[in-house]
Amino acid sequence: MPSNFRMPFRGLWRSSKPTQVAETVALPDDPRPETSNSIVNNAIYEAGCRVEVPDSLGATYAALAEREDAMAWIGLYRPSVDELTSLAEQFGLHELAVEDAVLAHQRPKLERYGETLFVVLRAARYLDHLEEVEFGELHVFIGPDFVITVRHAESPDLSVVRRRLEESPDLLARGTEAVLYAILDAVVDGYLPVVAGIAKDIDEIETQVFDGDPGVSRRIYELSREVIDFQRAAQPLTGILDQISSGFDKYSIAADLQQYLRDVADHVTHVNERIDEFRTLLRDILTVNATLVAQRQNEDMQKITESSNRQAVEARKISAWAAIFFAPTLVTGVYGMNFAFMPELDWEFGYPAALLVMVGIGGALFAVFRNRKWL
């Protein structure tokens, strides 16, 4: 282990019996064959170079004991309780940290258990076709001469991190804190495509809102949930990095690593600011959409009301003209009964008088309806 390592590791392992979980077949992050169902990469490093690739945990323990300044980096994918128990007994891992690693579903956090630093991270990647953020849980145990990574999902791809460090032996030679930096950097870099994907979807949603798409409300709600879950993964990293930064001077962390970690912290700050912007935008878009929906409903109701009013006006006109024509119809109907005794039939002015009565009644009705604006 390089002499410049100064992180405060002081704990001892206390035995525990976590609940047994089923083993699953690992998805290797290295081109070499797997050494067990869950060990996907297992290597010994010295002075920043890979010097051994043990084929079992026992061989790793032996190789580490033979090399005073060596560091072991063991990568696991959904390990069994027996494997974690073996690692805990060898490296003095705290029982609570091991229990968290077995059960998973932990929030992002950083905790110190004696000589072990335990970090839980939530990697994320955006599935554009589903408009979902897929999260992967990563547990990292850091000690003076070991790094143990426990993945519970396919992401993050730690093989990329390992290759990057192996291509930079000067950085890897700084010890386990350099590995922690590289893992943090990879997780945070994975957030940037997620930010870009969410931003793109918000732009599409804004277009849908103003186009009047009826399904946009559901899309806004579902994307808001994804943003909240993303915030729960990214926001705790600010506190984690603050905890690490607070120990820079106390534990004599190399200046270049301090700069690297500050750069990661800047990226985390940027991600969290964008997440806050997304939540505000989605809230405002939902409000605007509700307003537009209400406006469209009001416009529809207004059109219905106007249509009803037009129908009422037409009905009044029809009724008025029907009443006007009813008067002459009534008079002519009386004279069409053909009674035997109708004195008006012998009256010289009977016909003109009947016509005058019909015109007078029709004119009076027309004036009344006109005055009431029915015509």
Please write the tens of the pLDDT for every residue from 156-210. 889 899 999 999 998 898 888 899 999 999 999 999 999 999 999 999 998 988 8
How far, in Å, are 47, 153, 205, 323 from residue 222 at the CA level? 49, 23, 12, 62
Instruction: Record the tokens describing residue 4, joined without a space.
Output: 């410049």
pLDDT band at 291 (very low <50, low <70, confident <90, very high): confident
Q: pLDDT tens digits for 97-135? A: 999 888 888 899 999 887 789 999 999 988 878 878 899
From CA 251, how far away is CA 12, in angstroms rounded?
20
Q: pLDDT tens digits for 339-364? A: 666 666 667 777 777 778 788 888 88
pLDDT exceeds 70 at position 83:
yes
Q: Edge-to-edge strands of the sheet including 132-142?
A: 49-52, 39-46, 71-77, 146-151, 132-142, 116-127, 109-113
Tell me what the pLDDT averaged over the chain comes to. 81
> Across the strands, what pairs with 112?
117
Residues 237-250 have a mean pLDDT of: 79
Instruction: Record the tokens describing residue 152, joined without a space.
Output: 């519970």
Residues 269-277 have a mean pLDDT of: 95
- The β-bridge relationship of strands 71-77 and 146-151 is parallel
pLDDT exceeds 60 at position 57:
yes
pLDDT band at 313 (very low <50, low <70, confident <90, very high): confident
Instruction: Record the tokens describing residue 360, joined without a space.
Output: 């007078």
Q: Does CATH place domain 39-294 in 3.40.50.300? A: no
Q: Where does residue 17 rank: exposed (0-12), middle (13-18), buried (19+ CB within 10 A)?
A: exposed
**179 or 299, which is more confident:** 179
pLDDT at 8: 35
40 within 8 A of 76, measured Cβ to Cβ: yes
* Phi and psi at residue 123, to the nearest 5°: -75, 160
Residue ranges per structural domain of the chain: 39-294, 303-371
pLDDT at 373: 77
Instruction: Record the tokens describing residue 85, joined without a space.
Output: 């128990």
Nearest C-alpha neighbor of 97 from the set 176, 18, 3, 2: 18
pLDDT band at 19 (very low <50, low <70, confident <90, very high): very low
Residues 36-49 have a mean pLDDT of: 86
pLDDT exceeds 70 at position 17:
no
